[in-house]
Amino acid sequence: MTEGADLSDEAQKKEIKALEPGAILDSIEDIKPDATGMARLKCRVQESGEVGYVTRGHRQVFNMRIYNANEASLKELKDVLFKHKAEIDGGLRKTNLKIQEAVRQKEGKLFDKKAELEEKAKAIEALAKEFAEVDKAFNQAKTELASRQEKLLRSARESKSTVEASKVLGDAITKTKAAESQASEVEELGKPLTSLTAAEYEKATDPAETLAQVETKSAAARTALDEARKALKEQAAAVDKDGPVAAVKMEQGRLERILSGAQAKCSGAVSGCRRVCVNLTKAKVTAVEDAVRAAAKQKGGSGEDFFKELAGAGQDSIPSKKFAKYLSSLKDLQLSANHQKLVFKEMLSEDALPKQRFLRLVQQFYRCVKDIGITPDFDIGAKTIRKVASGEILEALEAAKMHEESGTLRIKARTLLDGQAGWISLKGNAGTAFLEETPKPYLICNADMPMYKGELSAGEEVRGLKTQEVLEVLEGPVPEKGGDLIRIQAKAKKDGKTGFLIIKDPTGAILAEKDTKYKCKQTIAITDSVDVMKSKVVRKIEVGELVAKLEGPVESSGAQRIRAKADKDGVEGWITVKGNAGTTYVEETPSKIYTIKKKQPLLAKMEGGPAVRDVAVDEVVEMIGNLQTEKADGMTRLKCKALSDGAVGWVIQRPKGGNLNVWGPHYRAIKEATVDKSAKVAKGEDGKPAEGEVVRKLDKSEGLELLTGPVFDEEAGVRAKFRCDKDKVVGWVTIQDAKGIRILSASGK
C-alpha cells in the first residue's frame, strides 16, 4: 500500500504497509488508472485503519477480489454443514456395513444386534433427509441473498448513474415523466371500452364520446412523447466525452424503455376503443339500413320520391334532425341516443345524410339471371307484359311477397331497359333463382364523349361529358346499330395542337368533313351566281390556283358548276368544272384538310382519355397519317344522369375501348395529395394554398367516399367532395390534375 496513486511518481509510490493475503480493505474512491496504466484504488485497512493506494490489477492479473462479510459467514456455515453431512454419511455407511456382517454371521452377538442396527440405520437415514432439507434451504437462502445483493448493487450503481445522468438529462427526464403520466391517463380513460368483451359492447356508455376523448388525449400524449424523445436525443448527444458517458447511456436506455411503454399504452387505448366503436357502429348501421329499406319497400314508389319527401324539394341532403326524427318513427328500430351518435358519425357528412348515400340505402336493384316474365299483377296467372332477359337490371319498388298458392317469392320492380313496371318472381317454388341482388348501376367516363338529347346518338347533344364524370344509369342498355367508327390523327390549323378526332361515328353521323380541293388547269372566271348566262364575273382564277368546294356540282347550261372559295384571297363564287363542250377547267386534287361539322374533343390518345381541347364547328384541321377504321358492333346506349349537374341524356357504350366502366363511390389515393376546404383553392402570393385552405394531408393508399361532384377546372383538373375513411374528415380532393395525372382511383365498388 502506497501513499499516492501514481506509481510513476517517486514521492507517491512510498510504501505505507505490506499487505498479506486475506487482508480486508474498505474502498474509499472509484478505481482509476495511473500514468503507467495500473488500476489503482484508494482503501482503508479494516484491521489497522491505515489509508493508502493499492493496485487492483494489471493486464488481467488481479491482486484483490471483492469481499463480502456475508459471503465469509456463509462459507463458514457451509463448512460446518459439510462436516456434519460427512459425519452422517459416515455413520450410515458404518451401520450398513455392520448390518451386512450380521446377516452373514447368522448368529452371535452381532447377529443378535441386527434389529437394533437396522433401527439405528433408519434413524440415520431420517436424519440425512432432514439434513438434505436444511442443505436445500441453505442453498436457496444463499441464492436469494446473492440475488438481493446483486439488486442492491445494481440499484446503487443505477442510483449513482441516475444522479450523474440527471445532471445531463434533467430536461429529458422531466419530460419523460410528464409524457408517461399523460399516457397512463389515456389508458385509464379508455378502460370503460377496452375492458369490455365482445358480448358486452352493447353495455358501453357513450362510446363515441369516450373514443373522442381518448383520441384527443392520446394526440396530446404523443406530442409530449415526441418532445421527450427530442430532448433526450439532443441532451444525450451533447454529453462531453470526458463526462459520465456510461451513466448517460444507461439512463438513456431506461428512459427510452419508459417512452416505448407509454407509446404502447396510447396505441392500445386508441385501438381498443376504436375496435369497440367499429363493431358497434357496423351492427347499428346495419340495423338502421335494414329498417329504412324495409320501410321504403312497404311505402312503395321510387327512392327519388322518398328522398324528396324527407329532405324537401330541391335539397341534396337530409339534415341530421330530420333524419333522427324519421328514425325515431320506425317502430321496429331500437336505437339509443349513444348508438345514434355512432351511426350518424358513419353515415352523415357535415351534419346531413347525402342524397346519394340515402339512395344507395333505400334503392334495391336486381340482375336477371334466368329469363322470366313480368306481369302487371301479383297473381302469377296474369298476362305477361314481356320477357325479362338474363342480364337485365331491375329496381325493386316494393318488398318481396310470397305467392302462397304457388310457393313463389315475387317482387314489384321496374326494368331499366324500358321502364316497364310489374311483378316478377325472385325465386321459383323449386328454389330456382331468377333474380339476384346487385348494386345500383353507375358508370364512369374513361374518355371525353357526347351526351345526346334524344334516343338516337346522331341527334342533338345535351353537352359534352368529361373524363372522370360519373353517370347514374336511368334506362338501358339498349342495343345500338353498329357500323364503322372512322378516326384521324389531326393537327389544328388554329394553334397547332394535335390529337385524335372522329370523322364518322358508328351511327353514320359526319363529325368532320373533308375539304375537297380543285386545282385550276385553264384560266376560268369565278362568278356571283350559278347561272353561267346571267352571272357577273368576280375575278379570274389563274392556272395553278386552289379552290375549296363549298357546294355542288350542279348543271347550268350544259356545264358542271361548283360553288367554291379561293385559297388565295378567300373570294367565294361559282366556277365551271367542265364546260358544255367537255373542257375541264378545274380538277379535284388530293386533300388532307377537314372542317369540323360537330363540336368534339381532340383526344390525346386514340383509345380515349382526357382531351387536349375541344374543336369547334367550322374549325379546320389537317390529317396526319392515315384514316383509322374500327368496327363498332355490339354497341349499346343508356339513358343516364350526370351526378355533377343533373344533366340527363343518352350515351353510347362501346364494347371495345372501355369508354365507360362500372363505378362505385369508393376511391383510393394512388398519390399523396391534400384534402381542401373548398372546390376552388385560394392561393397566396407565393402560389401556395392560402392559410386555412388545406384541411389535412392525404396519404397514399387512403380510402375515400365521394359525396359531391365531380367538378372540372382548367387549372385544378377534376375535383370532388369526399369523406375520408380514416377519420371521417370531409373536403375537396383532386381526382385527376389538369395534366391528366391520376391522383385517385375509383374502386368500382
Provide the grid cell at 281: 357502429
Residue with cell 346506349: 637
Residue 543 lies in a domain: yes
Res. 225 pLDDT band, cuts 50 70 90: very high
Q: Are residues 246 and 108 in the same domain?
A: yes
User: 305 and 346: one domain?
Assistant: yes
**Residues 470 and 338 both lie in one domain:** no
Domain holding 679: CATH number? 2.30.30.40
In percent, the amount of the chain with pLDDT more than 70 equals 93
* pTM as predicted: 0.58
Among 14, 32, 67, the domain-final residue is: 67
Q: Looking at residue 676, what is its pLDDT?
A: 92
Q: Are residues 135 and 188 in the same domain?
A: yes
Beta-sheet pairing, 517-520 with 537-541: unpaired
Establish if 226 belongs to a structural domain.
yes
Task: State whether 62 and 79 are in the same domain.
Answer: no
pLDDT of 150 strictly over 70: yes
Q: Does residue 381 belong to any structural domain of this protein?
A: yes
Q: What angle do CA 131, 134, 139 make, to 5 degrees?
A: 125
Q: Say if residue 248 is in the same domain as residue 329.
A: no
Hey, what amino acid is at 399? Answer: A
204 and 90 fall within a common domain: yes
| Final residue in a domain of this structure, among 67, 84, 105 | 67
pLDDT at residue 325 tops 90: yes
Decide if 531 is inside a domain. Answer: yes
Q: Residues 445-467: pLDDT tens digits?
A: 888 888 888 765 556 788 888 88
Does residue 120 sit within a domain? yes
Same domain, 224 and 342: no
Q: How many CA atoms lie within 13 A of 133 on its CB side?
A: 5
Domain of 329, CATH number, reads 1.10.238.10
pLDDT band at 165 (very low <50, low <70, confident <90, very high): low
Mean pLDDT of the chain, nearest integer: 86
Band of pLDDT at residue 69, cut at 50, 70 and 90: low
Q: Which long-range contacts link 638-641 to residues 24+ away (Cβ below 8 Å)?
A: 638/443, 638/471, 638/473, 638/474, 638/475, 638/476, 638/477, 638/478, 639/455, 639/473, 639/474, 639/475, 639/476, 640/443, 640/451, 640/471, 640/472, 640/473, 640/474, 641/471, 641/472, 641/474
Evaluated on CA atoms 487, 489, 492, 493, the torsion sign reads negative
Inter-residue contact 643 to 709 (CB < 8 Å): yes
pLDDT tier at 682 (50, 70, 90 boundaries)?
confident
Q: What is the radius of gyration, based on Cα positions, of the chain?
A: 48
Quote the pLDDT of residue 523.
93
Tell me, what's the pLDDT at 121?
83
Counting the structural domains of the chain, the total is 7
The C-alpha atoms of residue 643 and residue 470 are separated, in whole angstroms, by: 6
pLDDT reading at 160 higher than 70: no
Q: Note the pLDDT tens digit of each residue in 341-391.
A: 999 988 888 889 988 888 888 888 899 999 999 999 988 878 899 999 998
Same domain assignment for residues 357 and 322:
yes
For cell 374533343, the residue is: 601
Residue 162 pLDDT grade (very low, low, confident, very high; cuts 50, 70, 90):
low
The set of cell numbers assigned to 167 is 445532471
DSSP labels, 10-55? TTTT-B--PPPTT--EEE-S--EE-TTS-EEEEEEETTT--EEEEE
Distance of CA 537 to the CA centre of its chain: 75
Residues 420 and 531 in one domain: no
- Find the domain containing 370 and state its range: 365-439
Handedness of CA 709, 715, 716, 717 (dihedral sign): positive
289 part of a folded domain = no
Q: Are residues 320 and 356 in the same domain?
A: yes
Q: What is the pLDDT of residue 459?
A: 61
Task: Please indicate, yes or no, whether residues 145 and 189 belong to a single structural domain of this protein.
Answer: yes
| Rounded-to-integer distance, Cα 198 and Cα 538, Å | 95
End-to-end alpha carbon distance in the chain: 87
Whether residue 278 is contained in a domain is answered as: no
Helix axes 245-299, 207-237, angle to 10 degrees: 160
Specify the higher pLDDT residue, 263 or 397: 263
If 0-12 CB within 10 Å is exposed, 13-18 middle and 19+ buried, where does residue 86 land? exposed
List CB contacts of 24: < 8 A, sequence separation 6 or more: 45, 46, 47, 67
> Which cell numbers in the block locate residue 102?
450380521
Asked if residue 290 belongs to a domain, the reply is no
Residues belonging to the chain: 749
Which residues have CB under 8 Å from 598's CB, separation 6+? 461, 509, 510, 511, 512, 617
Computed from CA positions of residues 214, 217, 223, 229, in that sequence, does the dihedral angle turn out positive or negative? negative
Q: Who has greater pLDDT, 249 or 673?
A: 673
3-state helix, strand, coil in the chain (%, to 5): 35, 30, 35
More confident call, 712 vs 152: 712
pLDDT at 584: 93
Q: Of 312, 337, 362, which closes a domain?
A: 362
